[in-house]
Amino acid sequence: MVDLLRRRFPSSEGEVGIGDDAAVFAAPGPRLIFTTDTMVEGVDFELSYFPAVDLGWKVMAINASDVAAMGARPSKAVATLCVPATTPVGFLEDLAEGLGQGCTATGAELVGGDISSSDRISLGVAMLGSVERPVLRSGARAGDAICVTGCLGGAAGGLHLLSRDDDARGPLVERHRRPAARVAEASALRNFDVSSMLDVSDGLVVDLERLMEASGTGCEVDLGKLPLDPHLADVPDLDEVEAALFGGEDLELLFTMLPSHCTAAGMMLKARGTALTQIGVVTEGERRIGMRSLSSLKEAGWDHLRSR
Amino acid sequence: MVDLLRRRFPSSEGEVGIGDDAAVFAAPGPRLIFTTDTMVEGVDFELSYFPAVDLGWKVMAINASDVAAMGARPSKAVATLCVPATTPVGFLEDLAEGLGQGCTATGAELVGGDISSSDRISLGVAMLGSVERPVLRSGARAGDAICVTGCLGGAAGGLHLLSRDDDARGPLVERHRRPAARVAEASALRNFDVSSMLDVSDGLVVDLERLMEASGTGCEVDLGKLPLDPHLADVPDLDEVEAALFGGEDLELLFTMLPSHCTAAGMMLKARGTALTQIGVVTEGERRIGMRSLSSLKEAGWDHLRSR
């Protein structure tokens, strides 16, 4: 696998990549971002419906999304692969291909890794990025608009379809298996003085609570304004709003900015083919989505609501 | 666990540590080192004989050792922890304590991480370091002396004892569970124009082959000069030389330098309490340890030799 990765990810000029004790390269900037995220078989995916190439793609995307959510650009990455000794070479080749596609899409460069054996497959990435002034979770201020990029619930819709049919296809399945990290959008949004930002990886309810908690603010979110993934309408037995509220892994950006900046920021994103939707406002009061408090929604969770 | 880690590893002034999408900090230097290494239950350790605090220590040590083997200083690190949902809080607290002890010992700083559930425990770290001019594996030249720090085989001796008695104690067990990364030694050795270097993590035979392969050179190693761990003499049913040849995880430095530098380098290391031993020379010919070729030794492996 090391040789396979070395061929697939050759070193850049003047740098040391895969094959020595560690990678060596010029710092991508004076100020760095560093994050890590792992996908575990049986927890984050099942092999029955998750092709290796998509696994490689997605682990790069979720890490790049964390970097982007700080307003930064992905740079170098190292991967950790734990696989059973019986794993076919073809699977590893597909995985490397997916990692490569993920690198190309996010601007990251794989420079090293570690391979170990294990009962179940897990694939982790640690990623560096560079940033001048990071956008933290803690910068939201009362009066700011709360906005999201793109649409919500699609990845959850895809997982719902896959849970019923391993061979399910279509845009929602694609959204679950090959989500796009909003790297260019996050970078462009920084021109509009975004006050706080994170990526929706664990669902709007959970991630909004994190943003508000870090900022020490309240919020009023309008349920009717949630940008639901349009393909959710075709999915039977799935509440679209609940999918948007609780479904994670969409990797959309959730952020706050002065309301007066929303129109211009929306036009800028639209020109890149990505929607911007203001879903609410930051307040000094309670944290609410529609009529319910964020904490009661978080506590109830999706399963509870579905079973009602 | 995130809260536990945040308390245990507070952010440095002006930096963002555990708790946001990613850590943010000033680049430790213009030229960076990046590596990752993971320990997997059932492969690298068993819980029956590996306390959580030592697990945290060792995963920091093996990563810092890779950084040191490039002639670099450890800087920031992120950790990935996969544990069963039933893992006791006390285990996680001990793990965090061990990570902290490992950070203190190696000069690394834990700034982020990812926690996931899994059947078996795995603990990975990705580590950054800074370096001006890295010492690669590929720089050995014919005529160079081949040297190692400290002594070899101790970690394997400790594992051998633990394989017979989960409650075994003593210096060899300590060597296996809490190896020291040679960070200060690696840094000091750079003043002596070390031409190539790596750390002995997979055993002298395997790691020497890597060094020679990367440098395109041969070697003559004198079996009688191997610095055997003195405590190996007390271990029954274990060939000391084989433990030194094939036992990994000692984290000693294996390096090459001009023979004329060995004495001064040895005095410098001795002043730090660490031995330096010249075990052979780099040649343009075959790769040999004693009478045997490196490749035949590598192929034979430890188990084969033991059964003879």
CA-to-CA distance for A175 and A235, rounded, in angstroms? 14
Domain A137-300 CATH superfamily:
PurM-like C-terminal domain (3.90.650.10)
Q: Which value, to the nearest 10 degrees, does the dihedral of the CA atoms of residues B280, B282, B283, B286 take?
A: 70
Which comes out higher in pLDDT, residue B51 or A236? B51
Residues of B in contact with A136 (CB under 8 A): 16, 20
> Are the Cβ atoms of B40 and A82 closer than 8 angstroms?
yes
HSE, side-chain direction, 13 A CA sphere, residue B37: 24
Contact at CB, B137 and A21, closer than 8 angstroms = yes
Which residues of chain B does CATH 3.30.1330.10 include?
Answer: 2-130
Q: Shortest CB distance from A35 goes to which of B21, B25, B138?
A: B21
pLDDT in tens, B118-141: 989 999 999 999 998 899 999 999
Question: How far does the CA of residue B232 sit from the closest CA of chain A (Å)?
Answer: 28
pLDDT band at B303 (very low <50, low <70, confident <90, very high): low
User: What separation in angstroms does the CA of A148 have from each of A69, A162, A242, A268?
Assistant: 12, 26, 16, 14
Sign of the four-CA dihedral B16, B18, B23, B26: positive
Does residue A110 come out as left (phi exceeding 0), alpha (psi in the -120 to 50 range) or beta? beta
* B69/A21 Cβ within 8 A: yes
A27, two tokens: 């710092």
Which residues of chain A does CATH 3.90.650.10 include? 137-300
Does CATH place domain B137-307 in 3.40.50.1980?
A: no
Q: Determine, for residues B25 and A38 on separate chains, whether the beta-carbon distance falls below 8 Å.
A: no
Instruction: Decide if B200 contacts B123 (C-beta within 8 A).
Output: no
Domain A2-130, CATH number (from 3.40.190.10, 3.50.30.10, 3.30.1330.10, 3.90.1150.10): 3.30.1330.10
Q: Which residue has the tokens 């049919």?
A: A165
Task: Summarize pLDDT for B246-268 with one digit per residue, the tens.
Answer: 998 999 999 999 999 999 999 99
How far apart CA B63 and CA B127 sit, in angstroms, is: 6
Task: Please check whether residue B109 is in contact with residue B63, taking contact to mean a CB–CB distance below 8 angstroms.
Answer: no
The pLDDT confidence band at residue A303, using thresholds 50, 70 and 90, is low
- Take residue B279 and report the two structure tokens written for it: 């075990």
**pTM as predicted:** 0.92
* Least confident range of A208-212, B21-25, B207-211: B21-25
Which part of chain B has CATH 3.90.650.10?
A: 137-307
From A234's Cα to the closest Cα of chain B, the distance in A is 32
